[in-house]
Structure 1
Amino acid sequence: MPIRQLPDVLINQIAAGEVVERPASVVKELVENALDAGARRVDIDLEEGGVRLIRIRDDGGGIAPGELPLAVSRHATSKIGSLDDLESVATLGFRGEALPSIASVSRFALVSRRDDDPHGAALEVDGGRVGDVAPRSHPRGTTVEVRDLFYNVPARRKFLRAERTELGHIEEWLRALALVRPDVELRVSHNGKPTRRYKGEDTLFSDARLAETLGRDFAQAALRIEHAAAGLHLTGWIALPTYSRASADQQYLYVNGRSIRDRSVAHAVRQAYADVLFHGRQPAYVLFLALDPARVDVNVHPAKHEVRFREARLIHEFVYRALHEALAGTRAGQNGQPGLAQDAGAAVSTGPAQSAHWARPMPQPHLGLRVDEARAAYASLYGGGDGSAAAGSLHPDDALGMQPETALSRDAPMQGTPVVPPLGFAVAQLHGVYILSETADGLIVVDMHAAHERIGYERLKTAHDGDGVRMQPLLVPQTVAVSEREAEVAEQEMATLAELGFEVSRSGPQSLLLRSVPALLAHGDTEALLRDVLADLREHGESRRVRAARDALLSTMACHGAVRANRRLTVPEMNALLRQMEATERSGQCNHGRPTWAHFPLAEIDRWFLRGR
């Protein structure tokens, strides 16, 4: 077959194979064009999941009548004019391929009017065949109508899913858009019935929009993030580890307002959560990363789902540090400043709000501890004096290793109104496993083994971090077989490997000579660990494998050293544990990601017994 020029319609249909995957792809491209035109309200009308009809109407700046044919021709755009513009794109669209590609596989109509135009103008395209521009009545803005998607490409249409599935993809993309553009009103209808409305707000980051899109549970469990360094700015929300997901369905990342997927950033997030998330669970987050557009290449994916960072290693470290520090500050008893005030009617929540005085008494005779006796114990622990009475009830060699210290002021009032700390005061131990504590607004239940395990783990990590990574020389250096690429990485990153505890040199095209290993991990499979570290350095530019392996060992040590079930604790010991939880980083979860405490508000307890009805 001789070489020949392809017809324009076929060229556009080939491009449609990259840009137009399903109806959701059409909605994405058209709504992004509306936003680039300055729209503050966008109406999306759908029929049969978008296959029968997609109509997008906006109140943006509009298109001049003479430019309508250009709008549906390939590589015609108002958004870039030079290579410099391409290297610092600030708009969502810029390729000039979306409209002609969509028009080539549908029955397409474009109607638009600018403020100064006496009337609107319309252009119709049927399967790539462009009609003439005609006058049409239309308000300021643009309407794009796409009917019978893939009607002329039956092979593509067969790949579309059921109506409900295709509609679900559109709704998910609109949800992602609503999170990043709370200033835009979005109205959606399907088969003639309104289905969704996101009200526009004059704000960049809306707590109300967060609850509206991802649900109130996410909003209540969300920690607000704001971190800036090295010309990078990260804002958004991350969910507490206790709010985790079975899948990655609530993970949203935006770069300069563009919703993207990025493996390096996703890896940084997973590493930040590694120490607090239960095995197999996924974190939930909404993150907005802002940086100079010249530092990110958005022209690497036909549908613009991915970008390429010019300093990927810096981005990875920046995101990891920001989230790691935020999660480290989530101590038991703190609400972590969630995105929304917590609902007092929730059955179980984290982060109870505290007041400065006692809640009403909670007498429970069957627990074997009288409230008046408990209060006397509290007074001896947290009132004035030198605290010697409380100290005398503890054993110096106790496995708990706790002291009756408290963050409370020794000047706090004594006569029945001491300041209530975040986790309250212990009243009893339940089944030798749980500590029951009275707070200003309800009841807290603590898993004492899980809590003490986290306390010991954090102490061990702090101690080892202070010492740094110590090397242990091998008696006989080991030859490690690797790929040629891994050997090159090892040669380039010798200094980094030394910081991680590995003394390595290249001994051949596909071999390394290992002379020293991290001392704490010397009895493990150090060769496999080295290969994993090299894989991380090659893909992400950094590795925390050594730290993860060390932490796993320290976690095991902390687990063995933690107080066991059925160990009877005194009231001072229970209160000392609560105070240490309040002071320990990440104490809301044990080393395996399970919650260490739960809060039951008094209002919810009242409902159990139908009080107030």
Structure 2
Amino acid sequence: MNAPAPKITGPSGRPVIRQLDEAAINRIAAGEVVERPASAVKELVENALDAGAARITVDYADGGKTLIRVTDDGCGMAPDDLPLALSRHATSKIDGTDLLNIHSFGFRGEALPSLGAVGRLTITSRAQGAEAATLTVAGGRASGVKPAALTRGTVVELRDLFFATPARLKFLRSDRAEAQAIADVVRRLAMAEPTVGFTLRDVSGGGEGRVMFRADPNGGDFFDALHARLAGVLGAEFIDNALRIDVERDGLRLTGFAALPTYSRGSSVQQFVFVNGRPVLDRMLFGALRAAYFDFLSRDRHPAAVLTISCDPERVDVNVHPAKAEVRFREPEAVRSLMIGGLRAALSGAGHRASSTVADATLAALRPEAPRIYQMDRPSQPGLARSFAFQAPLAGAAAAPLGFAEAPAARVEPAHPADDAAARPLGAARAHVHENYIIAQTETGIVIVDSHAAHERLVYETLKRQMVENGIAAQALLIPEIVDLSPGDTARLLDHAAPLARMGLVIEAFGGSAIAIRETPAILGAVNGAALIRDVLDELADLGDSQLVQARIEAVLSRMACHGSVRTGRQMRAEEMNALLREMEETPHSGQCNHGRPTYVELKLADIERLFGRR
């Protein structure tokens, strides 16, 4: 089959270079900036935030395909500014002299002309001290500026998205899926700006529509505002189990909230990272988040966190992605180190704390399902009184065959309990049941501890501490193992030779694109060096860094801890149980086992009484 001929040819039949017209340029730009209705919402809401809006309302119909309307109370635009706002690369955010010193969401001046090229766009705006005006552009053709009625701010209305490029409509998903994408964008921006109010409404079918999301402005300092916003967006369960993060180093600052390891998720849906307030989807940053938790979670569980990295704008380039979803840091290793170190310090500071969801799940499992009682099945008050009287203990010794002479003793506790231990966080041990579970009493309830899992974590933390103090022993290979790689893989691997050497894996260049493995971690025993190197390269390509060698070493330590811990089936004495509880209180990360599962469950007395209907 012959190749198709070029569409533009000269007299000689050669392709001719020509300048595209403005409409075609805008449609091409729209393909990069506006992928779906949610992309349009993102651009318009970011413009509203750059205008200093305190309240933003987003209305959409049919998943944003037929209508997107963004209303804000920002600074607005004068009538003379409206035509210029619809010109490509016209912006009030930067003057063009410095593309690194950017303090706003937008700066390219592409969003509005791109939207006007693929839809029917109407802008109505009023600046302080000026009259309100409106301008409409459809398929790249603009009308004249007209007077309008508006109190303040700006209203941007986009109808019939992609009507000018109908082929793009075929790639859109269902109305529900597009609406969900819009909601995700608004929620993400609401977390980035906790002091701004957001309202999202579905106006499909006309009328006032239905409020799908609402977040009122929050006052106070940054952490107070963010705390309240996250409680509304992600739910009280997340914020109740999250640790406050505030770390600063070398001009970089990491703030936000990160959840406890026992509050892990089945996917990464609750991971949000912002750079100078801008939501980003950057592999390096999410890789650092994963690395901070990798010692506390199994590979099928994911941490939950909302984190913001703040730095001088000149230390980060936000102009590397069409949708500004990725960034490039001048010192990526410093940012990665800040995230991993800050998160691990916060997790260590949490000590033995476990998430409250563990207790909630336990109570839900214990609580019996209440049978449905119909009115005709309810006993009368006189019947209840007779029933209670019949069940009451009879007075006198003569009543012993039917009543109780005294209440039976049901408490089992050690012969010499520590009187002050109940005031400690994990309480005083009272029993060891099924040769594995410690029942401890606290001042406010009880604690149930998996003694094997808890002791396994304690031994594991001791082994890790000894490894850090004494270093990782490396085993020199009698004959170095030579691995042939591509030139790019060799360069990438040698760039990480120093951190790999600290983990006991010593490599060096061996001419051409080959590398030589000189030493391997002794604790791993005999290893397939070539397979290990390729696994490390896969992680480097995926995350920008590799924790694989360290993960394998710590997996060996974890197995050693498992074999060296208290075995299920051995009855523990009271002093052993209390010693284990005290050590858990003093050891970081003891609230979860080596696989991220909880090591104990705490039940409040009030919850226990509710289980038995006493409240």
User: Would the TM-score normalized by the shorter structure come out above 0.5?
Assistant: yes
For structure 1, which segment, 517-526 or 27-36, has the greater mean C-alpha deviation from structure 2 after superposition? 517-526
Matches within 5 A, 1:181-330: 181-191=193-203, 192-203=209-220, 204-205=222-223, 206-330=226-350
Match of 1:148 in 2: 160
Match of 1:109 among 122, 125, 131: 122
Which residue in 2 is equivalent to 1:529?
532
Please tell me whether residue 61 in structure 1 is matched to residue 78 in structure 2: no
1:96 maps onto 2:109 in alignment: yes
In structure 2, the partner of 1:395 is none
The aligned residue for residue 139 of structure 2 is 127
CA distance in 2, matches of 1:418, 1:49: 59
* 3-state SS, counterpart of residue 136 of structure 2: strand
State the distance in 1 between where 2:111 and 2:582 align.
Answer: 59
Distance in 1 separating the partners of 2:104 and 2:18: 35
Whether contact under 8 Å (1:454, 1:558) holds in the other structure is: yes
31, 35, 38: which one pairs with 1:24?
38
Q: Distance in 2 between matches of 1:506 and 1:279?
A: 32
Q: CA deviation at 1:142?
A: 0.7
> What per-residue deviation string (whole Å, max 9, x for no partner) do you get for residues 146-189 of structure 1?
11111222211122222221111111111111112111111222
Q: Deviations over 1:320-377 (max 9, x none)?
A: 1111222223322x47xx9xxx79995659xxxxxxxxxxxxx9966xx634xx3x52
Q: Letter of the aligned partner of 1:91 in structure 2? A: S
SS at match of 1:426: strand
TM-score (norm 2): 0.85
SS for the counterpart of 2:114 is helix
Q: For residues 368-420 of structure 1, what are the alpha-carbon distances to aligned partners after superposition, in whole Å with 9 as ceiling and x for unaligned?
A: x634xx3x5223xxxxxxxxxxxxxxxxxxxxxxxxxxxxxxxxxxxx56661
* Partner secondary structure for residue 346 of structure 2: helix
- State whether residues 432 and 572 of structure 2, in contact with CA within 8 Å, keep that contact through their aligned partners in structure 1: yes
Matched, 1:174 2:196: no
Shift, 1:488, TM fit: 3.0
How many Å separate the matches in 2 of 1:177 and 1:491?
Answer: 40
- Contact 1:231–1:292 (8 Å) recurs in 2: yes
Alpha carbons 1:316, 1:540 under 8 Å: kept: no
Match of 2:47 among 1, 10, 33: 33
What's the counterpart of residue 405 of structure 1? none
Match of 2:551 in 1: 548
Aligned equivalents of 1:587 and 1:106: distance in 2? 57
* Distance in 2 separating the partners of 1:179 and 1:579: 39
TM-score (norm 1): 0.85
2:412 matches 1:370:
yes
Please state if 1:162 is matched with 2:174. Answer: yes
CA distance in 2 between counterparts of 1:67 and 1:581 reads 65
Q: Check whether the contact 1:487–1:509 (CA below 8 A) recurs between aligned residues.
A: no
Task: Answer whether contact 1:47 1:190 (CA < 8 A) is retained.
Answer: yes
Structure 1 counterpart of 2:388 = none
How far did residue 546 of structure 1 move? Answer: 2.5
- How far residue 493 of structure 1 moved from its aligned partner, in angstroms, is 5.1
- Residues 438-497 of structure 1: per-residue CA shift (max 9 Å, x gap): 111111111111101000000111111111122222222222222222333455555444
Find the residue that maps to 2:488 and give its secondary structure.
helix
Counterpart residue number, 1:460: 463
- The answer to which of 574-583 and 494-503 deviates more is 494-503
Equivalents in 2 of 1:211, 1:80: separation in Å?
35
Question: For residues 227-272 of structure 1, what are the alpha-carbon distances to aligned partners after superposition, in whole Å with 9 as ceiling and x for unaligned?
Answer: 1101110010111111111111111000000000111111111111
**Structure 1 residues 574 and 460: alpha-carbon distance in aligned structure 2, compared to 1, 3 A threshold:** same
1:571 match: 574
d(CA) in 2 for partners of 1:312 and 1:417?
Answer: 50
Query: 1:300-320 CA deviation, whole Å, 9 max, x = no partner?
Result: 111111111111122111111
Shifted more, 525-534 versus 438-447: the winner is 525-534
Please give the per-residue CA displacement for 1:81-110, whole angstroms capped at 9, x wherever unaligned: 1231x1111100011000000111111110
Measure the CA separation in 1 of the matches of 2:359 and 2:521.
Answer: 50
Cα distance in 2 for residues equivalent to 1:7 and 1:566: 80
Comparing 452-461 and 469-478, the one that deviates more: 469-478
Partner Cα separation in structure 1 for residue 27 and residue 603 of structure 2: 59
1:429 matched to which residue of 2? 432
Provide the residue aligned with 1:441 in structure 2. 444
How much has 1:534 moved relative to structure 2? 5.2
Q: Which runs of 5+ in 2 are unaligned?
A: 1-7, 10-16, 204-208, 364-406
Q: Deviations over 1:10-62 (max 9, x none)?
A: 21111111111111111111110011011101111221221121111111111
Change (3 A) 1:257 1:446: same
For 2:213 and 2:595, the matched residues in 1 are separated by: 39
In 1, distance between residues paired with 2:424 and 2:532?
44
SS of residue matched to 2:423:
coil
3-state SS, counterpart of residue 287 of structure 1: strand
Farther off after superposition, 579-588 or 322-331: 322-331
Letter in 2 for 1:586: H
Equivalent in 471, 475, 484 of residue 472 of structure 1 = 475
- 1:542 is displaced (CA, Å) by 4.9
Question: Is the CA contact (8 Å cut-off) linking 1:330 and 1:587 kept in structure 2?
Answer: no
Once residues 606 and 488 of structure 2 are traced to their aligned partners in structure 1, the CA distance between those partners, rounded to angstroms, is: 62
**SS of the counterpart of 1:377?**
coil
Contact in 2 for aligned 1:244/1:283 (Cα 8 Å) = yes
Question: What is the CA–CA distance in structure 1 between the aligned matches of 2:361 and 2:505, rounded to whole Å?
Answer: 50
SS in structure 2 at match of 1:137: coil
Q: 1:105 is aligned with what amino acid?
A: V
Residue type at the aligned position of 1:92: F
Q: 1-side partners of 2:20 and 2:210: how far apart?
A: 42
Matching of residue 76 in structure 1 with residue 96 in structure 2: no
**How many pairs does the alignment contain?**
550
RMSD of the TM alignment (CA)? 2.2
Q: Which has the larger radius of gyration?
A: 2
Structure 2: distance between partners of 1:14 and 1:124: 20
8 Å contact 1:235–1:288 — kept in the other structure?
A: yes
The alpha carbon displacement at 1:499 in A equals 2.7
One-letter identity of the residue aligned with 1:216: A
Go from structure 1 to structure 2 and tell me whether the alpha carbon gap of 1:478 and 1:194 turns closer, same or farther (over 3 Å shift): closer
Q: For the structure 1 residues 572 and 467, does the alpha-carbon distance in structure 2 shift closer, same or farther, using more than 3 Å as the test?
A: same
1:608–1:494 distance in 2 versus 1, CA, 3 Å:
closer
Distance in 2, matches of 1:69 and 1:596, equals 64
Q: Distance in 1 between matches of 2:84 and 2:109?
A: 10
Tell me: CA distance 1:171–1:347, structure 2 relative to 1, closer, same or farther (3 Å).
same
- Decide whether the 8 Å contact of 2:86 with 2:112 is kept in 1: yes
Provide closer, same or farther for how the CA distance between residues 159 and 491 of structure 1 changes in structure 2, counting only shifts above 3 A.
closer
Q: Is the 8 A contact 2:480 2:518 kept in 1?
A: yes
For 2:412, the aligned partner's letter is R
In 1: Cα distance, 2:409 partner to 2:534 partner: 60
